[in-house]
């Protein structure tokens, strides 16, 4: 009797599952359709841009979806040379290399001390850094412009860190990356075990050495996450360079791209604009495809902390 019931139950469950699967059939199709639609929405504008980057001016102003008669690679040459995309990209690489390195170095130092060393004022410093997370940067924009301008008057180093200097922008990037970097990394340092560091101290290692040779390597996952976060954030920054770099030859890539589309007006070189866009997008696409796992987990763990 009991075996009979359990058989019936199992069987009816199986039937129910089959029934459900059949009912979900068309729904399953719809889900695939929805995913496909969003894939196209994501990919098509980008592919369309790539396509336009090898078209001639006439083809761009003809049918929006026509294929190019010939691949005009000279569009890229003009974007690189005449529209200075090469120069802007180099500027971006220089600024972001230094600013990310600086952010990670002094950000992790501050986070480590605040996370692991109780001292008077520790909490106040921590809150000072973290409070920056709550403020919109636009509030500080005007005074920041004058702070950087005044930095130009500092004796000796002034000419290197004032307005229209890359080093000046690097310092600003580092400062504005502090809130999130310190917030994230000090939470991370707090989770690390204390024993290894203490053992090294007993063996006579200095505080500094413990930090660089033990804690920093142990914090590698957190460091990688936040480095990705900062590289992308600083590479994609537009507002701060717009205010602080007003000389054309100092511009970073985002400024250069935004300018080609707005400033030129009627004598616009549209083919070169699409080529420039492609030059800005393609490297990101390649880097992202190679490191997509680290980038996705880096950015989302950054958001969830």
Measured in degrees and rounded to the nearest 5, phi and psi for residue 294 equal -65, -40
Q: Is 112 in the site for other proteins (CB under 8 A)?
A: yes
Give, as one character, the DSSP assignment of residue 215. I
Q: Closest separation between CB of residue 132 and other proteins, Å?
A: 5
Q: Which of 77, 82, 198, 238 binds other proteins (CB under 8 A)?
A: 238
Q: Which of 80, 98, 99, 107 binds other proteins (CB under 8 A)?
A: 107
Count the Cβ atoms, other than its own, within 10 Å of residue 190. 11
User: By rule CB under 8 A, what count of residues binds other proteins?
Assistant: 102
Q: Which of 15, 16, 127, 157 binds other proteins (CB under 8 A)?
A: 16
Structure tokens at 221: 């996952």
Q: Is 300 in the site for other proteins (CB under 8 A)?
A: yes
Nearer to other proteins, 82 or 150 (CB): 150
DSSP string, 58-100: HHHHS-TTPPPSS--THHHHHHHHTT-HHHHHHHHHHHHHHHH
Q: Closest separation between CB of residue 277 and other proteins, Å?
A: 6
Closest CA to 278 of 248, 243, 301, 253: 253
Q: Which of 94, 106, 200, 224 binds other proteins (CB under 8 A)?
A: 106
Nearer to other proteins, 219 or 277 (CB): 277
Structure tokens at 167: 């080093």
Please give the residues from 155 up to 174 whose contact with other proteins meets the rule CB under 8 A: 171-172, 174
Q: What's the CA gap between 126 and 119, in Å, rounded?
A: 12
């Amino acid at each position: 009797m009991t075996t009979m019931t359990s058989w019936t139950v199992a069987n009816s469950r199986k039937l129910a599952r089959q029934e459900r699967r059949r009912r979900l059939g068309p729904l399953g199709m719809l889900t695939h359709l929805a995913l496909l639609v969003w894939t196209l929405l994501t990919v098509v504008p980008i592919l369309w841009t790539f396509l336009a980057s090898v078209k001639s001016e006439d083809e761009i102003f003809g049918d929006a979806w026509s294929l190019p008669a010939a691949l005009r690679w000279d569009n890229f040459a003009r974007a690189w040379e005449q529209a200075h995309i090469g120069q802007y990209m180099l500027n971006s690489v220089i600024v972001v290399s230094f600013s990310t390195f600086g952010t990670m170095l002094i950000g992790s130092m501050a986070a480590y001390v605040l996370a692991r060393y109780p001292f008077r004022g520790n909490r106040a410093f921590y809150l000072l850094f973290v409070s920056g997370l709550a403020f919109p940067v636009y509030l500080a924009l005007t005074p920041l412009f004058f702070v950087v301008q005044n930095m130009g008057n500092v004796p000796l180093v002034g000419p290197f860190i004032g307005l229209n200097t890359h080093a000046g922008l690097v310092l600003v990037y580092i400062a504005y990356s502090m809130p999130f970097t310190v917030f994230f990394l000090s939470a991370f340092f707090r989770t690390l075990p204390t024993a290894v560091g203490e053992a090294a101290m007993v063996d006579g290692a200095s505080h500094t050495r413990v930090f660089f040779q033990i804690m920093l390597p142990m914090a590698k996952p957190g460091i990688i996450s936040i480095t990705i976060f900062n590289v992308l954030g600083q590479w994609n920054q537009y507002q701060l360079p717009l205010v602080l770099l007003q000389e054309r030859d100092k511009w970073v890539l985002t400024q250069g791209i935004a300018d080609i589309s707005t400033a030129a007006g009627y004598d616009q070189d549209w083919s070169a604009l699409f080529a420039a866009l492609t030059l800005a997008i393609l490297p990101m696409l390649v880097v992202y495809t190679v490191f997509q796992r680290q980038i996705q987990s880096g950015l989302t763990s950054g958001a969830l902390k």
